[in-house]
Structure 1
Amino acid sequence: MKWAIFLGSTTVGGGTYVIFEHATRAKEKGVDVTIVTREKVSKEELYWHTKASELRFITVEEASKEEFDVVISTWWAMVGEAYKVKGKQYLYFVQSIESRFAPEKEKPTRRYAESTYMMPMEIITEATWIKEYLEKNYLKHPILVHNGIRKDIYFPDGEVIEKRDPNKLRVLVEGPVDVDFKNVPKTIKLCQKSKADEIWLMTSSEISKYKGVDKVFSRVPIWEAAKIYRSCDVIVKLSYVEGMFGPPLEMFHCGGTAITYDVTGHDEYIVNGVNGLVVHRDDDDKVVEYLNRLKEDSEYLNNLKKGALDTANNWIDWETSSDRFYDAVMELSKPKEDNLQEKLAMMSRFYFEDYTVMQDYLNALEYMKLFRPVANFVNKTKRYIPAPIRNALRNL
């Protein structure tokens, strides 16, 4: 069985991590797994994962010369390239509704991302809310496979960066500092307003320090992340968009608790007041209030940590998750339509052309706005400018 799995990025990130976990375990089952990327990948880029370097990586151009039993897309921006690789079946592993990653004003990008869910591909997803969204809006019937946890890495008693101090509250903020929907800068500011004793930042951004943060950990391997989790009491994760985010669950496994917004996917495992604390989006005062309570009420903090560990103990490991993913791929591996590659090619070109037309139109509008002051100036000084030039400028 040959799988081709499209991958948008090899850098440290939750989505890539999930793909590597499924891919490496499928390889261990005897599947011939190939990771397909736009650019060539060096083994040095894969330092952060334990087994990703064992996988085969080739470019889309190289993959187009081969044939696979299953071609699996994993990122909206590369779904339109899946047809370039010959496969007997085409699947789509949807890790979030990725149109929401783009700002609302970027309507062409959001619409193009949404169009990928209309492709003639069977879908596997990782979160209940995504499954329900695709069922309701696109009449799809996704197979749900929850992400697992590396129980060999994330557990409460192990190495730490610094031991927790029962008299102090050490807060961890996680995420890239330059991705708007991850909301990291604001999260740090809210933590600063609280009575927290220390603020640590674990980020995929390549930085060595950040204003208001006591320690910064940049692009760390997954085994180092566990040491950071075990050193902190609570992770504050205030993303605006998630699929089924892993860091709070990893923190649960390492003996801590979490504060999150009521972001999509939180309800897969976070129960407010039982194992963590959930805040309505942008209720900033409540975030600070919760942090202060954790600082002042150690019993409450410890009860949440206990509830988090109970959740962790009942959560599936990656072996179980990847078994389910493998079974899902095998179940969907028989094509239900003829000429799938040709249909994908036709639809991909159509949707990309539609996206390009919309984007060009918006770019033209922005261009016109830039030159509107020139047109206004022309109207005010028209008697000084020859008519042909005046007319051309007025039409900008």
Structure 2
Amino acid sequence: MKIIFPVMSLEMGGGARFLYHLANALTDKGHDVEVVMPRKGAQVWPLRAKLTRVSELVPSTLPPGDFILPNFYTTVAPAWAAQKGKVVRLSLGYEPLWVVDRELAKESYLIDAPILSISQWHRQLILQETGRESTVISGGVDHTLFHPCPKRSTHTGRKNIFYILRNPAQGYTWKGGEDFFKSLSDLQNQLDFELTVTLPESTQLTSSIPCRIFRSVSDQEMATLYGEADLFIYNSYFEALGLPPLEAMSCGTAVITTDCGGSRDYANNGENCRVVPPSDIGQLKEAIYRLLTQDNERQRLATVGYAFAQSWTWQRTADQVETFLLSL
């Protein structure tokens, strides 16, 4: 099949990472996949699919294909107007929750095109807000990259916490960064730990807690940071899915995640991770304290999480998309 992905950019962020993994996996299955992106759009990760740069995403610059899969609300209109292939609305997050132009974003779900969503919570949200049903596809993990490695704490003697801090000034207010640092601030006099933070955007980190800081790291570097950590914390208020906890599990690291919606498809509290309510600093602190002081419990969650994550592959995601497209 000829499959077109019109995108604005492939910058840092879960949606872009989902896209490039999916495009690569469909390419590996033998499909003719073409990603069409404006010249000013950033490409952070390597693509095995064909990449075509255009002056802007308009109907005339889109190539013909069997299917066109716009993934962000601003790419839906040119894909629909082009009439150069069957449009399937790929939703990697329900945009009206965070974009300024909420009505335009909602309208992108109301065209007469089938919708793909990425978790059961995400499907229910789209149905509730638009009345449209969608078909759920799963996310994946690249297990050739995300796998266990030696823990830093075996050398330093201090448990290592890993956190991804998104910049609230760029709209990522729902990621819970303030709650996370409040929790650690309250715990730093009770526990001896090391904090590692990545900053995907140009965030200025001002914190009283000493930490190792990494900026705009590659997947290979991310895998090392996950694997070196004893505990990974993910405390978003909402997520259509949320790939980082799955990647941390695949790296053999214990996970604390909020009940942020999409995580319900893989996060089983007390089985493969700890789940706490969003914005509940008290329960987040309790979970951190428990897992940093109870080595056996932390290792049990890490071991079960690792085994669970093995079935989450991008090959499975590509199989699901292929089956859905063929059904049309």
Q: TM-score range by the shorter chain?
A: 0.7 to 0.9
CA contact (8 A) 1:200 1:213 kept: no
Match of 1:191 among 184, 196, 216: 184
Deviation at 1:35, TM superposition (A): 1.5
**Hey, what does 2:297 align to over in structure 1?**
300
Deviation at 1:167, TM superposition (A): 4.8
The count of corresponding residues between Structure 1 and Structure 2 is 319
What does the per-residue CA deviation read over 1:238-260, in whole Å, with 9 as the maximum and x for residues that have no partner?
11121110101111111112222
CA contact (8 A) 2:59 2:82 kept: no
State the one-letter code of the partner of 1:58.
R
1:18 maps onto 2:8 in alignment = no
Deviation at 1:62, TM superposition (A): 8.1
What does the per-residue CA deviation read over 1:351-393, in whole Å, with 9 as the maximum and x for residues that have no partner?
xxxxxxxxxxxxxxxxxxxxxxxxxxxxxxxxxxxxxxxxxxx
Structure with greater proportional helix content: 1
Q: What SS does the corresponding residue of 2:108 show, helix, strand or coil?
A: helix
Deviation at 1:137, TM superposition (A): 4.5
Q: What SS does the corresponding residue of 1:119 show, helix, strand or coil?
A: coil
CA contact (8 A) 1:3 1:70 kept: yes
Matches within 5 A, 1:142-291: 142-156=134-148, 158=149, 162=152, 164=154, 167-178=157-168, 179-194=172-187, 195=191, 197-207=193-203, 210-211=206-207, 212-291=209-288
Residues 221/319 of structure 1: CA separation in 2 closer, same or farther (3 Å cut): same
**Hey, what does 1:110 align to over in structure 2?**
102
Deviates more, 1:27-36 or 1:292-301: 27-36
CA contact (8 A) 2:176 2:236 kept: yes
CA contact (8 A) 1:64 1:86 kept: no
CA distance in 1, matches of 2:219, 2:252: 16
State the one-letter code of the partner of 2:318.
S
Q: What SS does the corresponding residue of 1:198 show, helix, strand or coil?
A: strand
Deviates more, 1:32-41 or 1:303-312: 32-41
Q: Aligned residues: percent identity?
A: 19
1:129 maps onto 2:121 in alignment = yes
**Hey, what does 1:316 align to over in structure 2?**
312
Deviation at 1:130, TM superposition (A): 1.7
What does the per-residue CA deviation read over 1:246-292, in whole Å, with 9 as the maximum and x for residues that have no partner?
10111111111222221111211111122211111211111112111
CA distance in 2, matches of 1:300, 1:308: 12
Deviation at 1:164, TM superposition (A): 4.5
Q: What SS does the corresponding residue of 1:199 show, helix, strand or coil?
A: strand
**Hey, what does 2:52 align to over in structure 1?**
57
CA distance in 1, matches of 2:3, 2:289: 50
- So what's the TM-score if we normalise by structure 1? 0.74
Unaligned runs of 5+ in 1: 333-396
Q: What SS does the corresponding residue of 2:109 show, helix, strand or coil?
A: helix
State the one-letter code of the partner of 2:52.
F
Match of 2:111 among 113, 119, 135: 119
- So what's the TM-score if we normalise by structure 2? 0.88
Q: What SS does the corresponding residue of 2:225 show, helix, strand or coil?
A: helix
CA distance in 2, matches of 1:2, 1:36: 13
CA contact (8 A) 1:251 1:257 kept: yes
Matches within 5 A, 1:305-344: 305-313=302-310, 315-332=311-328
Residues 213/206 of structure 1: CA separation in 2 closer, same or farther (3 Å cut): farther
CA distance in 2, matches of 1:8, 1:73: 10
Deviation at 1:166, TM superposition (A): 8.9
State the one-letter code of the partner of 1:11.
E
CA contact (8 A) 1:240 1:281 kept: yes
